[in-house]
Amino acid sequence: MYYGNVKYSDIANGEGVRTSLFVSGCTHHCKECFQPETWNFSYGQEFTQDVADAIVESLKAPWVEGLTVLGGEPMEPVNQQGLLPLLRRVRAEVPGKNVWCYTGDHFEALCDPKSPRHTDATDELLSLIDVLVDGPFERELYDITLRFSGSSNQRLIDVPATLSTGEVVLWKGDEELARHSM
């Protein structure tokens, strides 16, 4: 797996201060993607043990709420294999931190064993994610007032609640922080 960037102290890609990993490789090719360079699976640098160590270490800071994985496309089958050991490690070594993931895939497709996006890693990977922002960016539905998504078709899914109930449960977050308008 390759990655384009790691942002430490990121405040744009999930609630609170976060460490954000931008993986490389995406076959969605959304119109007006904000990072088309990350479509290439070899873009950036190889994801190594040293990079994983630095990410986990950054999450130990008390002001960092968690890890966000985005891209590119984290749920590309090859990236799922690369991310699974990192998310296992985050859960084991910094259990109080949350994990967000942005994907152009729909949650239902990821859960469908017949989908080409579903791999032997998908179910466990989803079980390690707290919030999944799903759906492709759609320029026609762009809305700057949305929290943590770019277009109104995208959903912020509370993954543990969704897996528990069997129905998609949307993430609400801090209601006080949700009250913003343009």
Sorted by where each begins, the domain ranges of the chain are: 2-178
> Helices (DSSP H) in the chain: which residue ranges?
49-59, 77-93, 107-111, 122-127, 159-165, 175-178
- CB proximity list for 78: less than 8 A, separation 6 or greater: 1, 25, 41
pLDDT for 103: 96
**Radius of gyration over every alpha carbon of the chain, rounded to an integer in angstroms:** 15
- pLDDT tens-digit readout, 6-20: 999 999 999 999 999
Each residue's pLDDT tens digit, 138-178:
889 989 888 899 889 999 999 999 999 999 999 987 765 55
pLDDT of residue 27: 94
> Which pLDDT value is given to residue 178?
53
Interhelix angle 49-59/77-93, nearest 10 degrees: 40
Q: How far apart are CA 180 and CA 182, in angstroms?
A: 7
The CA distance from 55 to 156, in Å, is 23
> Residue 54: which pLDDT band, with cuts at 50, 70 and 90?
very high
Q: Report the range of poorest mean pLDDT among 25-34, 79-88, 114-123, 130-139.
A: 25-34
pTM for the whole structure: 0.93
